[in-house]
Amino acid sequence: MKTLECNYQRKVDLPDLKAALSEGCCDHCGVTAVELAQQGEILEICGQEYCFDYETGEATETPVALCPACHAANHLDANQRHNPCHISARRSRENLE
């Protein structure tokens, strides 16, 4: 996903980035950083929604490590086009937008 835009990567801070990468595997499919390195790839950071703040209506996100394939899939909308916002992409896939 090196050429595709991810809005979340611009706002994550260094401690959260390190924490997400510390597991050493993709949060979605489980492929390890070692396996990716053998293919010339690395884990990438994206956000994962876990709940909504009832006062503001906004999603609470936490950073997760994803392999490039899962990261790209996380950003596909209902029309299979890249959306830089993974939340908008998910809402499109689920017909919420």
Q: Confidence class of residue 73 from pLDDT cuts 50, 70 and 90?
A: very high
Beta carbons of 63 and 20 less than 8 angstroms apart: yes
pLDDT of 33 reads: 98
How far is the C-alpha of 31 from the C-alpha of 43, rounded, in Å? 9
Cα–Cα distance, 7 to 59 (Å, whole number): 15
Q: Is the dihedral of CA 89, 95, 96, 97 positive or negative?
A: positive
Digit-coded pLDDT (tens) for 78-87: 999 999 999 8
Global confidence as pTM: 0.86
Report, as an integer, the average pLDDT of 80-95: 93
Helix (H, G, I), strand (E, B) or coil at 26: coil
Alpha-carbon distance 40 to 51, whole Å?
A: 34
